[in-house]
Each structure stands twice: as structure tokens, then as C-alpha cells.
């Protein structure tokens, strides 16, 4: 027999856990399916300094553990399972877990599956992630005051990140694989006119290199690059690298069910979190292609829980 909850939340992170906190505190039975990255993107972030309430900053994984425990305190149940299939054709809705194909049912579903930064996949990228390698300038730029950092990419995201980083870094070098840019003309011109930004054309990152500090923590120190026209390889010192080649929302599970934009971000209706299926709500980076911050994800998780609670009252 399947286990039933008033609300099933697919995904964790700030959006999923905040939704769970609000819904469970409202006296609803709540299940959170944490998926393949419990705690979301913040679990691969080191220090978080821009979330209100943590005066001296907090490590991303610790922060998510606090979020989880706070939701559990009010009765939310967390499952370290991945939802492989959903059935929104009738209520109660059905979700199927990767653990022995177990089926759970719910009166309402909140999608909080987040997004993943696209990465290069070059050697050392994973090892130095959070230790010199980042995919979010607004999250981590502050840690590179008066340093030389690199931005990888050729679209609007890369230009935006490069411009933002000049507020902190002494020098920003944009690495792009060709001489043609996907970035809009205005964004490209803004970056090119910034005296703190340089460009490396026809270049790709072969490897992220670094050392282990006496504390045992890894630290990025250089990049091994290759010119795609001459095949010449060079190694350049680097204090930090920001990979800015876009994000991919983790929403493929809902293809053909929920309305999405051409990238895959779930489209919500009006100012709220309702999707095109009554009783299914979306929050966090799964539907936010603009801000992608912990604080905005948490805010939309709160909205989704309130929307779901009100919807349940009327149904």
C-alpha cells in the first residue's frame, strides 16, 4: 500500500526545505524527496555570506542541514530517494521513487528540483569546486578581492559575471573558445569597455591545477589552457575561475506535463507558484531563470507552501 501525504515536495535545497517548513508548520503531512543532491546546489558551495541571519557566514552544507532539521522539527519527513516518475493525471497524485519503485501519493505536489550549473568537465573542476572554482559570481565574488580571476563563457551570463566581478577582483580575464560571441551586443560592449576586463580568444581550459594547503584544503593556483587555432598549450596563474556557460533546470522529469520555456524552466501562473496543472506548484531554481539565489529560492518555497495550503483548503 502506498504511503500518503498531504504535500509531496520533490527536491530539497532552500526552496524545498522552506516549503516543507511552512507546510508542516501549518499542520500538513509533508514528505521531502531530496533526490541525488540532498540539500541542493548549496551543498557544493563553501561559505555563504549573503544569506540574512548569518552575520559571520556559514558553510553551505551546514546551512542546508539546519534548514532540514528545522522542517523536520515540525514533522516534515525527508527521504533520501530520487523520484523517477510522476503521475499527475488524477488525484491523489502519484510519485514513484527509485527505491524499489515505491509509490507515494499526495493531494498536492511542490516541485523544487532546482537547476544545475553547466560545467566544462575538465580535470580538476570538481576537485577545486568551492576552492577557487565557482559557477556563481554573486555568491562567491567577494572572496576574490584584489585578485586575478577568470570567467569562462561567451554569452550574456559570462559578460554579466565578468562585469560583476570587477567590483571585487583586481583583474578579470574572459576565456572564450572562439572569436564570435553569443552575448548580446550591449552586454559584450559593456564588458569590452571595462578597463579591468581582458579577453582570451580561441582558448579552452584543459585542466584546473592547484595545491593542498597545510590545513589539507585544496586551492586552485593555475589553469592549463590551449589555443584552439595553434594547439599551443600554456599555464597561467589563477586565483579563481567562474564557469559561466549557463544553467540547466532539473525538470526533465516533467517534460510533456508541466509548461516550460525553451530552456526547461517551469512556467508559473501570474505572481504565484501555480503551474498549468491544478494542485502542482513550482518554486526555486526550477522556475527562476533570473535570480538563482538561496534567498529568492527560500522566498518562493514559502510562496509555494502558502499557495498549496490555500489550494488544499478549497479542494
22 with 123: CB under 8 angstroms? no
- Report the distance separating Cα 115 and Cα 122, nearest Å: 20
47 with 56: CB under 8 angstroms? no
Which residue from 126, 134, 79, 87 is spatially nearest to 109, judged by alpha carbons?
Answer: 87
The beta strands (E) that lie in the chain are given as: 3-10, 30-33, 47-48, 58-59, 77-79, 83-87, 93-97, 103-111, 115-117, 133-134, 148-152, 171-175, 197-200, 203-212, 218-227, 233-237, 240-243, 247-249, 280-282
Which residue from 192, 204, 144, 203 is spatially nearest to 168, judged by alpha carbons?
Answer: 144
Catalytic residue among 78, 98, 100, 136: 136
140 annotated active-site: yes
Contacts of residues 220-224 at CB distance under 8 Å and 24 or more positions apart, as own/partner, are: 220/124, 220/128, 220/131, 220/132, 220/133, 221/132, 223/150
209 annotated active-site: no
136 annotated active-site: yes
Catalytic residue among 87, 98, 107, 139: 139
Catalytic residue among 78, 107, 140, 283: 140
Which residue from 301, 260, 264, 276 is spatially nearest to 88, judged by alpha carbons?
Answer: 276
Q: Which are the catalytic amino acids?
A: 136, 139-140
Amino acid at each position: 500500500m502506498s504511503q500518503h501525504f498531504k504535500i509531496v515536495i520533490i527536491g530539497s535545497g532552500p526552496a524545498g526545505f522552506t516549503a516543507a517548513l511552512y507546510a508542516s508548520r501549518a499542520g500538513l503531512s509533508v514528505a521531502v524527496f531530496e533526490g541525488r543532491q540532498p540539500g541542493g546546489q548549496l551543498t557544493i558551495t563553501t561559505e555563504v555570506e549573503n544569506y540574512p541571519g548569518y552575520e559571520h557566514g556559514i558553510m553551505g552544507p551546514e546551512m542546508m542541514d539546519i534548514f532540514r532539521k528545522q522542517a523536520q522539527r515540525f514533522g516534515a519527513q525527508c527521504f533520501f530517494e530520487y523520484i523517477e516518475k510522476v503521475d499527475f493525471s488524477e488525484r491523489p497524485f502519484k510519485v514513484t521513487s527509485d527505491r524499489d519503485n515505491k509509490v507515494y501519493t499526495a493531494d498536492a505536489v511542490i516541485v523544487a528540483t532546482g537547476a544545475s550549473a553547466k560545467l566544462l568537465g575538465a580535470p580538476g573542476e570538481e576537485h577545486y569546486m568551492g576552492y577557487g572554482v565557482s559557477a556563481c559570481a554573486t555568491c562567491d565574488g567577494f572572496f576574490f578581492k584584489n585578485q586575478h580571476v577568470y570567467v569562462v563563457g561567451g554569452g550574456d551570463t559570462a559578460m554579466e559575471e565578468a562585469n560583476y566581478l570587477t567590483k571585487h577582483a583586481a583583474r578579470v580575464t574572459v576565456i572564450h573558445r572562439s572569436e564570435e560571441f553569443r552575448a548580446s551586443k550591449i552586454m559584450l560592449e559593456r564588458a569590452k569597455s571595462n578597463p579591468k576586463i581582458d579577453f582570451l580568444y580561441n582558448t579552452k581550459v584543459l585542466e584546473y591545477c592547484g595545491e593542498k594547503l597545510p590545513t589539507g584544503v585544496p586551492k586552485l593556483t593555475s589553469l592549463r589552457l590551449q589555443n584552439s587555432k595553434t594547439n599551443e598549450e600554456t599555464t597561467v596563474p589563477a586565483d579563481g575561475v567562474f564557469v559561466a556557460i549557463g544553467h540547466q533546470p532539473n525538470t526533465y522529469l516533467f517534460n510533456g506535463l508541466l509548461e516550460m520555456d525553451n530552456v526547461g524552466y517551469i512556467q508559473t501562473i501570474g505572481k504565484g507558484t501555480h503551474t498549468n496543472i491544478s494542485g502542482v506548484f513550482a518554486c526555486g531554481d526550477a522556475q527562476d531563470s533570473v535570480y538563482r539565489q538561496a534567498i529568492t529560492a527560500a522566498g518562493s518555497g514559502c510562496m509555494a507552501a502558502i499557495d498549496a495550503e490555500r489550494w488544499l483548503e478549497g479542494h
